[in-house]
């Protein structure tokens, strides 16, 4: 893991040190390169040296990987390129020229006429290299002209790379200069101004652009001073083009196509859940960040997630929103309503035709077809999702047993035996099919008199996430006139372009398939939970223990500022409590003990008391004097509700209607 106290200055000092020495052959990078002042450096080696300045010793190479190094450097504002991308050096780049039209140097070629040329001194008055971006411009790049009171007024193509030019004697522009000739200047009509961007509905996207861009320095989109020519983030160009197209029904001139923007966004593929949260908020759907974080971390932990809770609380919509956001095509997911008459595997896996021994009947649900598509080698970098809506309308074990088995064993499902069968006129179907590593199952669950409970076999293999609506959330929803628009999850609002997060799909799969897990939190409390659950026959095994460690690890990857107690709280709620159900006599005592394990005594007196007594004291005092701290608030609140249900009704269960 890379220490968080390594700063941008430490990286620069490491670069200065490496510049004067030869890079060891073993430390040269095959995948990525850190670009700084026109030179390339191996990212991991630079971070290792930087740790010496931050913490006194070099960081060992096995302690972190190249992808983590790339992500760390990008967050510090450095440029990291992928050496594996074909034609990386010749990729078209986008630039913003920031200028006051009436303040352009009058005797330089292209003066007062936008789109003729870019011109700058080679150094500022102090001799600083602040115009270095001029050297990065290549023939064929696109320049957006941002003039006067923040107005994108036109666009040009770069005719040639920077050449040396003369400055203006006797002016502040005296001395050696750069000159870049432009061509094909096209005025934007209508122009795009500050209000167009600020009033647009992608405010979270603007915030992320501001954080990593040299263009703006605050959320009002005020321009940074002194930067005449700055790179234009592809997200900003996409946003400007989207606004321009809505106004004029045309794309900005010289942009090859929106598809090109989509392709370049794919090159920036580190998975970031904040992008999903930002895009999700634009749709009008309302979820807490804790819930979305738990959902994404659960998918990364195990490819089987169950969403349970109040009907109409948004379980199916969250699943639908995520898969549409991260998928490039509708072929990558299926939303399958489970029927009450599903008594065998045929609705998911189809069946061999009993009348024709060379034919196989595919299921109408499309489930088997989805598994087959995910299994193709050319699709290995794309995630596929099967959403089983109302999963417990039928006994899960009846129709899902084959999936439950191979999910763990990685064996194959036997579809048929005997002669080779076809599922179409020309296409053969293999007798067996395995579980693709890029396939994820999301089940939604409502609890009422028409549904069935899950068995321990099912619960052991899933992360169970409960959906509840807090009074403050309902109040906020009622006060707003929320308009649901799922098109906000797609590039240019069009399903055919795929989701806004599709460029992160490969890295999402990398995180999901990463097996090495560090011990990210103190898990001693889990042993206490194990002992108490064992008394009621609901203890967990090695599988659940391992998945708890993975879940805590993935939560830390998604949010490195998350406290250990919060991670353990989510793990208890999702992996340990779902198996609890039974009578008042059986469960009230153990539940009180589990509730006590969620508490911490804040005063010195009476520390040596049992967990059950701790809960009873807390419940009686209502914590008026602040004598207790609730360490695991989500789990504690759930256990309290289960205790109340047991006392009031004589029976309790994790599942609530």
Average pLDDT over residues 330-347: 94
Q: Which DSSP letter does residue 320 get? A: H
pLDDT band at 367 (very low <50, low <70, confident <90, very high): very high
Average pLDDT over residues 616-641: 79
Q: 179 - beta bridge partners?
A: 119, 163
CA atoms within 13 A on the CB side of 382: 22
134-138, 352-356, 383-387, 415-419: least confident range: 134-138
Identify the pLDDT of residue 387.
Answer: 97
Q: Which two tokens stand for residue 45?
A: 């080696």
Q: Which of 110-114, 308-312, 439-443, 536-540 has the highest mean pLDDT?
A: 439-443
Identify the pLDDT of residue 106.
Answer: 43
pLDDT band at 88 (very low <50, low <70, confident <90, very high): very low
Identify the pLDDT of residue 225.
Answer: 61
Q: Which two tokens stand for residue 442?
A: 């999301």
389 in Cβ contact with 316 (< 8 Å):
yes
**How do residues 471-504 score in pLDDT, each as one tens digit?**
877 887 777 766 788 988 988 777 888 898 998 8
Identify the pLDDT of residue 90.
Answer: 40
pLDDT score of 45 more than 80: yes
CATH 3.40.50.300 in the chain is located at 273-513
Identify the pLDDT of residue 535.
Answer: 78
pLDDT score of 286 more than 50: yes
pLDDT score of 402 more than 80: yes
Higher pLDDT, 480 or 587: 587
CATH class held by domain 91-266: alpha beta
CB count within 10 Å of CB 150 equals: 19
What's domain 273-513's superfamily in CATH?
Answer: P-loop containing nucleotide triphosphate hydrolases (3.40.50.300)
Identify the pLDDT of residue 89.
Answer: 38
Identify the pLDDT of residue 603.
Answer: 65
Cα separation, 120 vs 229, whole angstroms: 9
pLDDT score of 322 more than 90: yes
Higher pLDDT, 107 or 253: 253
pLDDT score of 15 more than 80: yes
Average pLDDT over residues 144-159: 87
pLDDT band at 639 (very low <50, low <70, confident <90, very high): very high
pLDDT score of 31 more than 60: yes
CATH 3.10.590.10 in the chain is located at 91-266
Give Cβ neighbours of residue 257 (< 8 Å, ≥ 6 apart). Answer: 251
Identify the pLDDT of residue 30.
Answer: 61
Average pLDDT over residues 559-584: 89
Q: What are phi and psi of 424, to 5 degrees?
A: -150, -175
Q: What's the Cα-to-Cα distance from 418 to each of 415, 422, 425, 610, rounded to whole Å?
A: 11, 12, 19, 63
Instruction: Provide, rounded to the nearest whole percent, the portion of the chain with pLDDT above 90.
Output: 28
**How do residues 175-223 score in pLDDT, each as one tens digit?**
788 889 998 899 998 899 888 887 765 555 666 666 656 677 666 777 6
pLDDT score of 609 more than 70: yes
502 in Cβ contact with 383 (< 8 Å):
no
**What are all long-range contacts of 590-594, with beta carbons under 8 Å and residues at least 24 apart?**
590/532, 590/533, 590/535, 590/536, 591/639, 591/642, 591/643, 591/646, 591/652, 592/616, 592/643, 593/532, 594/529, 594/532, 594/533, 594/635, 594/639
Of 31, 34, 39, whose CA–CA distance to 65 is shortest?
31
**How do residues 409-434 score in pLDDT, each as one tens digit?**
778 999 999 989 999 888 899 999 99
pLDDT band at 86 (very low <50, low <70, confident <90, very high): very low
Identify the pLDDT of residue 83.
Answer: 57
Mean pLDDT of the chain: 82
Higher pLDDT, 509 or 64: 509
pLDDT band at 84 (very low <50, low <70, confident <90, very high): very low
Average pLDDT over residues 140-159: 87
379-388, 527-536, 568-577: least confident range: 527-536
**Three-state SS for 307?**
strand
Instruction: Provide, rounded to the nearest whole percent, the portion of the chain with pLDDT above 70.
Output: 84
Q: What is the largest CA-CA distance in the chain?
A: 95
43 in Cβ contact with 112 (< 8 Å):
no
Angle, helices 505-513/289-301, rounded to nearest 10 degrees? 60
Q: What's the Cα-to-Cα distance from 78 to each of 75, 171, 238, 545, rounded to whole Å?
A: 7, 34, 22, 39
62-66, 471-475, 504-508: least confident range: 62-66
């Amino acid at each position: 893991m890379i220490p968080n106290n390594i700063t941008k200055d430490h990286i620069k000092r490491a670069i200065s040190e490496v510049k004067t020495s030869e890079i060891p052959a073993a430390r040269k990078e095959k995948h990525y390169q850190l670009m700084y002042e026109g030179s390339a450096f191996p990212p991991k080696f630079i971070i290792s040296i930087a740790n010496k300045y931050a913490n006194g010793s070099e960081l060992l190479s096995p302690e972190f990987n190249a992808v983590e190094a790339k992500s760390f450097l990008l967050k510090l504002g450095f440029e990291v390129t992928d050496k594996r991308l074909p034609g990386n050096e010749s990729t078209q780049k986008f630039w913003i020229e920031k200028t006051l039209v009436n303040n352009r140097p009058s005797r330089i070629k292209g003066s007062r006429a936008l789109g003729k040329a870019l011109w700058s001194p080679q150094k500022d008055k102090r001799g600083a290299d602040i115009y270095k971006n001029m050297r990065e411009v290549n023939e064929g790049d696109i320049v957006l002209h941002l003039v006067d009171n923040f107005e994108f007024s036109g666009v040009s193509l770069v005719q040639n790379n920077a050449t040396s030019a003369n400055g203006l004697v006797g002016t502040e522009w005296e001395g050696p200069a750069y000159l870049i000739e432009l061509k094909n200047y096209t005025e934007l009509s209508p122009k795009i101004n500050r209000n167009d961007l600020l009033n647009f509905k992608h405010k979270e996207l603007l915030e992320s652009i501001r954080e990593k861009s040299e263009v703006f320095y605050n959320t009002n989109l005020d321009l940074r001073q002194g930067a005449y020519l700055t790179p234009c983030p592809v997200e900003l160009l996409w946003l400007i083009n989207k606004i321009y197209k809505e106004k004029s029904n045309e794309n900005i001139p010289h942009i090859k196509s929106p598809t090109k923007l989509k392709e370049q966004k794919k090159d920036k593929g580190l998975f970031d859940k904040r992008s999903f949260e930002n895009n999700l908020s634009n749709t009008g759907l309302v979820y807490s960040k804790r819930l979305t974080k738990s959902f994404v971390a659960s998918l990364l932990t195990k490819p089987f997630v169950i969403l349970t809770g109040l009907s109409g609380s948004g379980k199916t919509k969250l699943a639908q929103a995520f898969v549409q956001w991260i998928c490039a095509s509708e072929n990558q997911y299926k939303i399958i309503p489970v029927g009450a008459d599903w008594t065998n595997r045929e609705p998911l896996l189809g069946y061999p035709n009993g009348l024709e021994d060379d034919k196989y009947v595919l299921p109408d649900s499309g489930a088997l077809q989805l598994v087959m598509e995910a299994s193709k080698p050319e699709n290995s970098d794309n995630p596929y999702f099967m959403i089983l809506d109302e999963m417990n309308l039928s006994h899960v074990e009846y129709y899902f047993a084959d999936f439950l088995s191979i999910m763990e064993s990685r064996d194959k499902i036997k579809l048929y035996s005997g002669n080779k069968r076809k599922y179409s006129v020309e296409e053969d179907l293999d007798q067996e099919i395995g579980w693709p590593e890029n396939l994820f199952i999301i089940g939604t669950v409502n609890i009422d008199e028409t549904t069935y409970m899950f068995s321990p076999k099912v619960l052991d293999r899933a992360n169970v996430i409960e959906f509840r609506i807090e009074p403050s959330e309902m109040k906020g929803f009622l006060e707003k006139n929320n308009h649901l628009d799922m098109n906000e999850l797609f590039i240019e609002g069009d399903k055919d372009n795929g989701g806004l997060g599709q460029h992160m799909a490969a890295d999402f799969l990398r995180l999901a398939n990463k097996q090495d897990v560090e011990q990210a939190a103190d898990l001693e409390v889990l042993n206490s939970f194990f002992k108490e659950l064992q008394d009621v026959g609901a203890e967990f095994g090695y599988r659940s223990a391992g998945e708890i460690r993975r879940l805590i690890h993935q939560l830390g990857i998604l949010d490195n500022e998350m406290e250990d107690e919060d991670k353990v709280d989510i793990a208890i709620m999702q992996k340990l409590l779902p198996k609890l159900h039974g009578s008042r006599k059986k469960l009230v005592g153990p539940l009180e003990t589990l509730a006590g394990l969620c508490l911490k005594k804040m005063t010195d007196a009476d520390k040596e008391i049992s967990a059950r007594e701790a809960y009873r004291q807390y419940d009686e005092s209502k914590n008026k004097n602040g004598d207790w701290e609730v360490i695991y608030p989500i789990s504690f609140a759930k256990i309290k509700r289960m205790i109340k249900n047991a006392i009031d009704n004589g029976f309790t269960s994790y599942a609530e209607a």
